[in-house]
């Protein structure tokens, strides 16, 4: 059996992988969507490929016995999860589990809820579910960051939960991992069958043109109200001032050992801030290394240049009223001080978060096997092993993920951020 190069999955492909691991998508369709050479395997050759996240952590293994054979999928490690209602395991259930729970129902209708439902949508749900034995409200959510004007995944799930009682039959809400850009030929209607539905309807898709126009015109409400109160010249100035108004920007800068939990807490914080409608940009250490700082080494000079680049981008985000969240290791005090100075020069709030998870805990986690390689001398300049970590004495928040939950850590950082923003 030959092994294809490992495939690094972005957010959309991670959604597809989660869907497939739960039985909502056939491995063949997963392979076709994420492996460009899946259909061009040498005749008679069996192949395998390891699927990883952007941190190169192995998540699953796809195998094909050769042309004509079906692909198989094996989970190697649980996919990382975030916080918020969209990650609640009671709602984000695998397709096979939902299908099994609905097996005794003769008529199951799946209603797709992909936008905050209106009163008209609620009436539609009641009508469509009236004659069904069971109703499933499928809420498609994506890992990819949403547009600022859209209701976020958490808000969408809460809306669906409030909608469930309007169904005339027993109804449940099920969160479906769904890429923001699905591959050609894959529809939510197809996936709904894997969740046990006999028929499917799109709640938003049934809206007539008048309702669509009303929803689309919500952004014009302020302009119309201002125009009714002010003469044209004054109205233009009031609207100009409103467009220019912004919240004070902020940079939340996490530092700590590899494996300390920085990225996990940073992602969860970003999700929570976005769910609250705040413009948030996440600059994760590994992702930045692949793009903004590609080619830089891990010696002191390379590390400091990497942190300076992160700090510069974060300060630009904060300058325009956004919240930038960065989660590099950032082992050197001089680099962290430079980032603080860049942020504060723009008038933004700067919050240094030290994720003080002990080195032995981080090494025991060793998700990517990096500590073991560093101990063996295979990785030079590895922080905590062959390169120093200068523990911050100026941290605004200190957390330890070995003695508390992610939710608790996020709450502590959020409290400090809210207080700093006033």
In this predicted structure, what is the pLDDT of residue 147?
Answer: 55
- Show the tokens assigned to 250: 């902020």
User: Residue 50 pairs with which residues in a beta bridge?
Assistant: 61
292-308 pLDDT, tens digit per residue, is 777 787 788 888 898 99
243-277 pLDDT, tens digit per residue, is 655 578 999 999 999 989 998 899 899 988 888 87
The reply to whether 198 sits in an annotated binding site is no
The reply to whether 368 sits in an annotated binding site is no
The reply to whether 263 sits in an annotated binding site is yes
333-353 pLDDT, tens digit per residue, is 999 999 999 999 999 999 999
Range of lowest pLDDT (178-187, 265-274, 285-294, 303-312): 285-294
User: Is the CB of residue 8 less than 8 Å from the CB of residue 287?
Assistant: no
Secondary structure of residue 139 in the 3-state scheme: strand
DSSP state of 402: T
User: How far is CA 209 from each of CA 204, 213, 349, rounded to the nearest angstrom?
Assistant: 11, 6, 44
The reply to whether 261 sits in an annotated binding site is yes
Report which of residues 368 and 403 the model is more confident about: 403
Secondary structure of residue 190 in the 3-state scheme: helix
In this predicted structure, what is the pLDDT of residue 43?
Answer: 54
> Mind listing the domains of the chain with CATH numbers?
2-75 (no CATH), 85-210 (3.40.50.620), 250-421 (3.40.50.300)
DSSP state of 247: P
The reply to whether 217 sits in an annotated binding site is no
| Rounded-to-integer distance, Cα 92 and Cα 89, Å | 5
pTM above 0.95, yes or no: no
Range of lowest pLDDT (5-14, 55-64, 162-171, 212-221): 212-221
The reply to whether 256 sits in an annotated binding site is yes
The reply to whether 262 sits in an annotated binding site is yes
């Amino acid at each position: 059996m030959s092994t294809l190069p490992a495939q690094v999955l972005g957010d959309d492909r991670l959604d597809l992988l989660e869907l497939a691991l739960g039985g909502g998508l056939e491995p063949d369709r997963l392979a076709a969507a994420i492996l460009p050479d899946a259909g061009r395997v040498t005749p008679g050759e069996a192949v395998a490929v390891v699927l990883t996240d952007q941190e190169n952590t192995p998540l699953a293994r796809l195998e094909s016995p050769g042309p004509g054979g079906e692909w198989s999928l094996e989970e190697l490690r649980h996919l990382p999860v975030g916080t918020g209602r969209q990650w609640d395991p009671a709602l984000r259930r695998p397709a096979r589990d939902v299908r099994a729970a609905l097996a005794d129902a003769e008529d199951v209708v799946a209603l797709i809820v992909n936008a905050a439902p209106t009163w008209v949508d609620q009436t539609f749900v009641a009508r469509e579910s009236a004659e069904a034995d069971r109703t499933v409200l499928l809420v498609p959510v994506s890992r990819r960051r949403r547009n600022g004007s859209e209701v976020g995944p958490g808000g969408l799930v809460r809306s669906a939960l409030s909608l469930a009682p309007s169904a005339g039959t027993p109804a449940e809400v099920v969160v479906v991992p769904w890429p923001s850009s699905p591959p050609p030929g894959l529809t939510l209607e197809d996936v709904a069958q894997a969740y046990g539905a006999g028929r499917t309807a799109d709640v938003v898709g049934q809206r007539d043109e008048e309702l669509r126009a009303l929803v689309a015109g919500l952004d014009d409400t302020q302009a119309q109200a201002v125009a009714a109160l002010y003469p044209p010249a004054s109205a233009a100035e009031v609207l100009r001032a409103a467009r220019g108004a912004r919240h004070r920007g902020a940079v939340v800068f996490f530092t700590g050992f590899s494996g300390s939990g920085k990225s996990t807490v940073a992602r969860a914080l970003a999700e929570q801030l976005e769910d609250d409608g705040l413009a948030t940009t996440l600059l994760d250490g590994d992702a930045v290394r692949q793009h903004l700082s590609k080619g830089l080494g891990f010696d002191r000079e390379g590390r400091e240049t990497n942190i300076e680049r992160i700090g510069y981008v974060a300060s630009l985000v904060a300058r325009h009223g956004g919240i930038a969240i960065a989660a590099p290791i950032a082992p050197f005090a001089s680099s962290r001080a430079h980032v603080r100075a860049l942020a504060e020069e723009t008038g933004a709030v700067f919050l240094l978060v030290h994720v003080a998870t002990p080195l032995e805990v981080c090494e025991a986690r060793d998700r990517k096997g990096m500590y073991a390689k560093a101990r063996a001398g295979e990785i030079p300049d590895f922080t905590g092993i062959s390169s120093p970590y200068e523990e911050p004495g100026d941290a605004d928040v200190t957390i330890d993920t070995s003695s508390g939950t992610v939710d608790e850590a996020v709450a502590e950082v959020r409290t400090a951020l809210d207080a700093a923003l006033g």
